[in-house]
Amino acid sequence: MSIIYGERVRLRANERGDVAKFHEWINDPEVTRGLALYLPMSMTDEENWFDGLSKRDPNERPLAIEVRKGRVWKLIGNCGVFGIELTHRSGELGIMIGDKTEWDKGYGSEAMTLLLRHAFETLNLNRAFLRVYADNTRAVRSYEKAGFVLEGRLREAVYKHGKYDDVLIMSVLRSEWMKRKKKEKR
């Protein structure tokens, strides 16, 4: 797969040199607040994760998120499609913007839009969905901006930070993606 370019963001394959940043981010409580991770991860854990990527289905390998800073690209997170169901042409999406200095700049929405383009135009999915904690309002707004709609709520489905929280299921269908794409071309 080639690098996927947007206006300010690109998605590329993860490289071994990214592992140190990923390790830093997944051990930051502010970053992991919206993620399923809840235990500290060692550098060995992160290196083992990276080493396991080559054994994964190529369609389900995560992608690094970079933003243009002048003439160079800066790594700010990663994203990917996983749990692809070939019969149903459905897959789950996930994203982490780990660099907190780049939060609230619209990069997450743009990265998710690029990931949707990859899901529908490269992987030929019909439905892309994600799970998000209900109290993660910044992420919910970002997903809505990228075209996701609320499908449902799993009540008190996760226990994190000493309390139960609802999990929202949001999705985009290929037909919705195509309709939105046609509108943007006008």
Domain residues of the chain, as ranges? 4-185
pLDDT at 100: 97
pLDDT at 1: 58
What does pTM read for this prediction? Answer: 0.94
State the pLDDT confidence band at 185, using cuts at 50, 70 and 90. Answer: confident
Reported CATH class of domain 4-185:
alpha beta
pLDDT at 25: 97
Strand spans (E) along the chain: 4-5, 9-13, 63-69, 72-85, 90-97, 127-133, 149-160, 163-173
